[in-house]
Amino acid sequence: MFQDFETFCQLPLHYIIVGGGTAGLAVAARLSEDPEVNVGVIEAGPSALNGEDGGAITVPGRYGETIGSKYDWQFETTPQPGIGGRSLKWPRGRVLGGTSALNFMAWNRGHREDYDAWARLGNKGWGWDDLLPYFRRSETFHQPSAAHQQYYHSSYDDEFNGTSGPLHTTHIKQYGPAHQYWHTALNELGAASSPDSLAGSNCGVWNMVCTINPHRQERSYSASAYYAPVAGRRNLHVLTNATVLNVLIEMTNGEWNATGVRVRYGDEEKDIKTIREVILSAGSIQSPQLLELSGIGQRKVLEAAGIDVKIDNSNIGENLQDHMMTATIFEVSPTLSSRDDILNDTILREAADRAYYASQTGPWTVLPCSVAYCPLAQVASSTEQAQLQITAQNIAQETGRLQDELLGEQFDSTKKVRGQLEYIFDLGNWSTYFKSEPGKKYGTLLQMLQYPFSRGSIHIPAQQDPSRKSSVDDKPIIDPRYYQGPGEIDRDVMALGQRMAKRISQTEPLAKIIQKRVFPPLPEDLASEQSVYEDFVSNYTVTDWHPVGTCAMGGREGAKAGVVDDRLRVYGVRGLRVIDASIMPLQVGAHIQATVYAIAEKGAAMIREDWS
């Protein structure tokens, strides 16, 4: 239940969860199943469960409207030399439900080998077989009808889908007009249709499952799925519009202990104590930020920010990994309609609203779901793949990191094939860099790199005034280092991937609706084609909004390589855990939402085991 500030401060809380987002509310729901404990959640943003979002969150087809709004932290990266000196906007949810309230509702899992790599690093219990029960525990998958399966290619495998979890997942009711050509075109290119992308291998072509409640045709996210059904629990307490300033770290009997948090609510600041643990679920940006503000982090970073050093750990805020994305734009048949038409035409928008609210049908129920994950062998020649493998091996040798050695396996043709590049096709102009011409219709082919060598960091800023300390109000410095250092190999792979994008657009039957490529324009001759692609990738890559790794599990190297152990406990301090995307030691080949929920489910189960 929601609490006022004064009441919340007086509660005897066994667990304080910082961040009522994707992971935080899932952890809170599971921990509060034990009626003997009190669970407190502190969220900086408001709740939108009362309908104040006006449908911007709940109506599926209105995805993207909340980006840049009051529900978004509106973070931004530093200028990135690897992408032409551009700074990129990094949206993150500032609302109950976190980024699960802002995202595109994509629901897929990485490859079995992605999670097995975590276990190979020494993180016991984090392989595919270990995580599968938690993937299934988080969802109720709604099976498509036989007619839907036949008409839309919506296949699934019962063994890998959950049937009684809080989140609703489903194949959407109807698809955009280009979807009918997608499977056949990709099949022609050698990408087989996947029987179930959630079964441990998502290579091939398939339809994205989405986090939608099919009965209500509404977004299913952590606030509506994990919190709302149990909001009446007397031992679950939620404080919204409150900002955690830092974790209280105190020395007791020669050990550092997390004893609570410092919170600001309006103009008031108070310390709130915990009986057992503080759990950071603030995400890949703000979990490392809060650790540093609490005195846990790199000595040089903390001292420059005016923060007293309590635990010196050079890994906090490092190991940042993100998926990178380009958007190739095509002019398509003028008879086709897209979401752009609705957004730019008041009459069409009113008609879409009427259809949705009257019968939960129409354009607001349609999402971009035409997906393919292609291995490098489909994109590059054997010679190019061999050269990339040599480059990757050299990177691993230079860095001495097992993570880089494992990443290099994607280039080894003798290893299990994984989808290195994701492609999604949808009608409409999805690029922020290409301006649509009036009267013309467009389609967009998105291309996303799945296993980046690019490694960045997130840290609190240094202070020029020695009398001032950095605070939570100082936005963290986000430096993904796209295509820099070892990440130069990522640019090479993305440029090669543009050839596959060209082949997709020229393959029937998809080709029959595409008139020409307009961004980037076709090169004048084949000799300059690769140069055009390299320039395009360098100048127009953007984030795919999947940052991970900044509080990574350390595996067998412990605090030398990570921030938390395989029980998600922060090294060097008792009573403090991190449970969110930041604990992932390596990126996965998938949209990360489903993995974050699995992390939350497993993290909550471990806490209950540890205190049982």
Inter-CA distances, 599 with 393, 496, 580, 581, 604, Å: 30, 33, 7, 8, 8
* Residue 171 backbone phi and psi in degrees, to 5: -80, 135
pLDDT in tens, 62-100: 999 999 999 999 999 999 999 999 999 999 999 999 999
Q: For tokens 């082949």, name the residue.
A: 503
Q: For tokens 């922020």, name the residue.
A: 432
* pTM of full prediction above 0.85: yes
Query: Which tokens hold the place of 314?
Result: 């050079």
> Does 428 have pLDDT greater than 80?
yes
pLDDT in tens, 365-413: 999 999 999 999 999 999 999 999 999 999 999 999 999 999 999 998 8
Burial-class residue 47 by CB neighbours within 10 Å (0-12, 13-18, 19+).
buried
User: Could you say which DSSP state residue 226 is in?
Assistant: I
Say whether 99 counts as a known binding-site residue.
yes
The pLDDT of residue 421: 97
pLDDT in tens, 132-161: 999 999 999 999 999 999 989 898 999 999
Burial-class residue 412 by CB neighbours within 10 Å (0-12, 13-18, 19+).
middle
With residues binned 3-state (H G I as helix, E B as strand, rest as coil), the percentages for the chain, rounded to 5, are 35, 25, 40
- Give the Cα separation of 142 and 553 in Å (integer): 33
In one-letter notation, the amino acid at residue 536 is F
Average pLDDT over residues 526-545: 91
> Does 1 have pLDDT greater than 90?
no
Query: Which tokens hold the place of 265?
Result: 């609510």
* Residue 529 backbone phi and psi in degrees, to 5: -60, -50
Say whether 301 counts as a known binding-site residue.
no
Whether the CB-CB separation of 582 and 595 falls below 8 Å is answered with no
The pLDDT of residue 467: 85
Q: For tokens 């790599």, name the residue.
A: 117
Whether the CB-CB separation of 182 and 425 falls below 8 Å is answered with yes
Q: Of 14, 183, 323, 546, which one is the catalytic site residue?
A: 546
Going from N- to C-terminal start, the domains of the chain cover 150-218+321-543
Cα pseudo-dihedral 298, 300, 306, 308, rounded to 10 = 50
% of the chain exceeding 70 in pLDDT: 100
Neighbours of 339 (CB within 10 A): 23
Element (H, E) at 280: strand 268-280
Say whether 206 counts as a known binding-site residue.
no
Whether the CB-CB separation of 569 and 583 falls below 8 Å is answered with no
Inter-CA distances, 363 with 79, 341, 354, 481, Å: 37, 10, 11, 38
**Which of 338, 283, 355, 305 minimizes the C-alpha distance to 23?**
283
> Does 524 have pLDDT greater than 80?
no
Whether the CB-CB separation of 254 and 265 falls below 8 Å is answered with no
Q: Which SS3 state, helix, strand or coil, does residue 537 take? A: helix
The pLDDT of residue 284: 98
Whether the CB-CB separation of 170 and 156 falls below 8 Å is answered with no
Inter-CA distances, 429 with 255, 404, 409, 440, 443, Å: 56, 36, 35, 10, 6
Instruction: Note the Cα 198 to chain centre separation in Å.
Output: 16
Based on the residue annotation, tell me whether 142 is a catalytic residue of this protein.
no
Based on the residue annotation, tell me whether 183 is a catalytic residue of this protein.
no
Q: What is the mean pLDDT of the chain?
A: 96
> Does 525 have pLDDT greater than 90?
no
What's the CATH fold of domain 150-218+321-543? Answer: Glucose Oxidase; domain 3 (3.30.560)
